Amino acid sequence: MAAPEEQAPLQEEEEPLDPVLEMQLCARGQVVRELRLSVDPNVVQKYEHVMCFKPDTPPLHVDEIATSWFGKVFDKRAEDDTTGIQIWAASLVMAYWIVDLAPELDGKRVCELGAGCGLPALATLAYSDAKQVVMTDVFEPTLENLRANVKRNGDNNSMASRAAVHCLDWTKPETYRIDPDVAVDQQFDVLLGCDLIYDNALVQPLINTIRALLPVGGTFYYVSGGKRFVFI
């Protein structure tokens, strides 16, 4: 019996769409392309979404990922929480909301909690002149995907120079400090969040995190179940 032929590793299919075609397709809705990767052994596939939330603006490129990790989706350990590797409906609602909120975000320091794929934060960078936007999560593949999404959109409204990705665990106050070189805890003018709670045990850690990162007079914009909430 002949030995089976050795299969070549899957390569990343990343041929960019023609910019004009991309804008035409984006104007009609959402474009999804499947990318098969061999670069990272933990990432099986990537799905790139090309989205427009505001007419006559460059589209946003947002990747979801499929991993080879076999743990629980809603795990008790924060570092094993895989909920951030996909785009949730609440983040789409938030992205549209940010288009309306954009003037209020200009010049502000913004932080997205449990950013996942980072769509609301990317929308903030694209549609406002926020001074800084920090995307936070804790699952390492999620953080790597956030960094990749920032890089993919880097030339859109100077995103790369205003964006940062940070590993923040709500249960570990030592991770609240975004910049380790700053002697005091950093705070933000605005916090963003989408469907952050799926376990009662997370309520108090989330409250602690908000209190640490949001000063008196700051604003927390939150979307849950398709409903929008503003906490001041």
What is the phi-psi region of residue 114: left when phi exceeds 0, alpha when psi lies from -120 to 50, beta otherwise? left
Which residue in 122, 128, 124, 178 sits closest to 154, CA to CA? 122
Would you state the structure tokens that stand for residue 112, as one six-digit string?
Answer: 């997205």
**Encoding tokens for residue 13?**
């299919």
Contact 188, 166 (CB under 8 A): no
pTM: 0.80
Distance CA 147, CA 166 (A): 10
What percent of the chain stands above pLDDT 70?
Answer: 70
pLDDT tens-place string over residues 148-204: 999 989 888 788 899 999 999 999 999 998 776 665 568 999 999 999 987 888 899
As a CATH number, domain 19-231 is 3.40.50.150
Reduce the secondary structure of 152-220 to three states and give it as a string.
Answer: HCCCHHHHHHHEEEEECCCCCHHHCCCCCCCCCCCCCCEEEEECCCCCHHHHHHHHHHHHHHCCCCCEE
Do the beta carbons of residue 132 and residue 109 sit within 8 Å?
A: yes
Kindly state the tokens that stand for 105: 């975000």
Give the pairing type, strands 60-67 and 43-51: antiparallel
Q: What is the pLDDT of residues 128-157, one digit of tens each?
A: 999 999 999 998 889 999 999 999 898 887
Average pLDDT, the chain: 80
Strand order in the sheet with 132-137: 163-167, 132-137, 109-112, 190-194, 219-224, 227-231
